[in-house]
Amino acid sequence: MRKKTLVNQNNKQIETMKVNKIYLNLLTVGMLSFMAGCAGDENIDRTEGKETDNSSELTAFSSVSSNRLMKYAPRTSMGGHQYLTGSDFYWEPGDQIYVKDDNNALQKSSMTNISATQPTARFQVPGAYTAQNSYEVYYTGAAAGATSNKVSISTAQLQTAPNNAKHIGVSGDCGTATATRMGDHFEFMLDHKATYLCFLPRVTNAALGKNVFLTKIVVKSDNAIAGDYTLSMAGLSSAPTANAATEITLTTQGPTLPNGFPLSNTVTSVATNAAYMVIAPGTHTLTVDYYMKDPVTNIEGAVTKILSAKNFEANKVYDITADLTVRNYDGSRYYMWDAKKQYWEGHEWNKGGNQPILSTQLAGSYAQNNTDPRWYNESATANGIKNDATTPLFQTYPNINEMVWYASKGDPRWDGVQLWSLMSHLYKGGIWLKKKDYISGFNANTAPDGTDWRIGVTTSGQWHTSNTLPSSADASKYFYLPALGHFTNGLLYYVSSIGRYWTSSANPGSSGFAYHLYFDHINNITCGGNYRYNGYWSQPFE
């Protein structure tokens, strides 16, 4: 019951895009063709739609009958484009049109020859068509609730395969035309009245891209882009007459792609994941949420892009590219405390080694004793004497006093939304901490309680994180720490729910413990000692 199957004939990948033109023939075989290349991320390229030498034939039956046969036959093609090689539009079973007859009544086509997806179609339309040489033709789509002059632009659109626009008919596609008598038949060229968005996402991190999928696209507008509209020859009504909506969800999953559309392309690729949405024309400021999911980690979340206000014209296709690459952590900064080499040095997952990248994997190639440069610093001092890191790398990390300032006075805030990647898989979860320049009283020599934790007067403390994210105005005052979990005895634990970060301070009086920062998804944040043989994430703080 759907209209206008969009098929990319040559599956040509797209690398660039600039100002485009499109010849859009949604009532027959037209070529969806783009006429130039190269657009930046989140740019919108408009492609202009028009009918070119296409006709519909209205053939008379006998004078006794009031029926007419409307036939729409020829096709349009274009060459010279650089972006797409072309796309055809077809009739689908259930497609119907309305024609205004001599009595100004909109007559619905009663019969067609459409039995499958096909390039041409015949319609039998009741009514009298003898008084004039031209008649108004309406196509109001196949959406539930559509009538002779009512178009319903859906808030829930579904595309089951990449670069396939079978769904636009049920999503709100529509158009009008003037049919002109040509001997014993009528011809017309359809003028489409909806706007079409073509989303073209990519992930430039190839290792991540092969593991994540596009599950849906949610578009939010500052004004109505969906609902019930009245269709006239001039176009859609300027606002919905009912069911006005400012948000549309396009689901990008189907029987053969239950996880969603692939995001394995590092450059824009129409064949890989082009996704089409129908919206109402008008000037809109759009926010686009691209939802992607890693079925292995079962993490799903959105990357948001904000588009500046733009006049989205009817009968045009707008190509919207987006880089969905998230911040990546390659797994190379897990260390035993103050070790000279990282936990998996020589066995890195991205260099052909057996470093585990998931919690279900185990490898025995981690350091086992102090003959290995990946082993922790076993130094010890007497109680009351500080024991600082000796490697140049660990000396750049916060000491325990500084870490207590971050944890207790740095306004820690848990963020369960922001996406990031670790060793080719998708995760979310982490905390925001104030940068030290915005923490009043920050002091490397004493903790907020006035003591020097480096000498062991105090050995642990616990506080809590907030679930309120920093405001946009204050965002620059904070930095982000992902919940990267940790390695213990070759196993990866608690990624996405717990973060552990080494300090440059060891516990005095012990050769086996060192201070670290701990936080989790249930709003705990602590500073204290733990075994130095653990592989905690290690990095300087801001």
Tell me if 393 is assigned to some domain. yes
Residue 97 covered by a domain = yes
Same structural domain, 349 and 457: yes
- pLDDT score at 533: 99
Q: How much of the chain exceeds pLDDT 90, in percent?
A: 72
| 375: containing domain | 328-537
pTM for the model: 0.86
398 and 294, same structural domain? no
Residues 334 and 267 in one domain: no
Q: Does some domain include residue 2?
A: no
Mean pLDDT value across residues 238-256: 98
Last residue of some domain: 294, 325, 356?
325
Q: Among the listed ranges 3-17, 66-80, 422-436, 453-467, which one has the minimum average pLDDT value? A: 66-80
Mean pLDDT of the chain: 85
Instruction: Kindly list the distances between the CA atom of residue 69 and the CA atoms of 2, 29, 182, in Å, as whole numbers in the listed order.
Output: 21, 19, 13
Q: Going along 222-315, which residue ranges are E strands?
A: 226-232, 235-236, 242-245, 247-251, 261-262, 275-279, 282-284, 286-294, 299-306, 310-312
In a domain, 170, yes or no: yes
Give pLDDT tens digits for 254-303. 999 999 999 999 999 999 999 999 999 999 999 999 999 999 999 999 99
pLDDT of residue 22: 25
How far is it, in rounded angstroms, from Cα 146 to Cα 148?
A: 7
Residue 141 belongs to some domain of the structure: yes
Q: Residue 26: which H helix or E strand, with range? A: none
Q: How many domains does the chain have?
A: 2
- What pLDDT does 280 receive? 99
Residues 6+ apart with CB under 8 A from 117: 5, 90, 91, 92
Give the SS3 label for residue 407: helix
Task: Note whether 466 and 529 are within 8 A (CB).
Answer: no
Q: Choose the final residue of a domain: 325, 345, 368.
A: 325
- Has residue 35 been placed in a domain? yes
Same domain? For 398 and 524 the reply is: yes
Look at residue 542 and tell me if it is in a domain: no
Tokens, residue 233: 């020859």
Based on the domain organization, do 383 and 311 belong to the same domain?
A: no
Q: Are residues 320 and 392 in the same domain?
A: no
Q: At 392, give phi and psi (nearest 5°).
A: -55, -35
Q: Are residues 182 and 230 in the same domain?
A: yes
Claim to verify: residue 265 and residue 362 sit in the same structural domain: no
CA dist 166 and 169 (Å) reads 7
Last residue in a domain, options 268, 299, 325: 325
Same domain, 150 and 211: yes
What letter represents residue 67's amino acid? N
The answer to whether residues 384 and 276 belong to one domain is no
Report the distance separating Cα 108 and Cα 87, nearest Å. Answer: 28
Q: Would you say 122 and 112 are in contact if contact means Cβ atoms under 8 Å apart?
A: yes
Give a yes or no: residue 1 inside a domain: no
Nearest to 13 by CA among 83, 73, 81, 103: 83
- 372 and 282 in one domain? no
Q: Residue 24 pLDDT > 50, yes or no?
A: no
Q: Are residues 305 and 349 in the same domain?
A: no
Tens of pLDDT, residue by residue over 69-121, are: 333 322 221 122 234 443 455 667 888 889 999 999 999 988 888 788 776 66
Q: Hey, how many other C-beta atoms are within 10 angstroms of the C-beta on 385?
A: 12
CA 490 to each of CA 51, 57, 377, 516: distance values in angstroms, whole numbers, following the listed order: 64, 74, 18, 19
Q: What are phi and psi of 300, to 5 degrees?
A: -135, 140
Residue with tokens 């019930």: 228
Enumerate helices (H) and strands (E) in the chain, giving the number of each: 4, 41
Highest mean pLDDT among 15-24, 305-314, 457-466: 305-314
The pLDDT > 70 percentage for the chain reads 83
Q: Within 432-487, where are the H helices? A: none
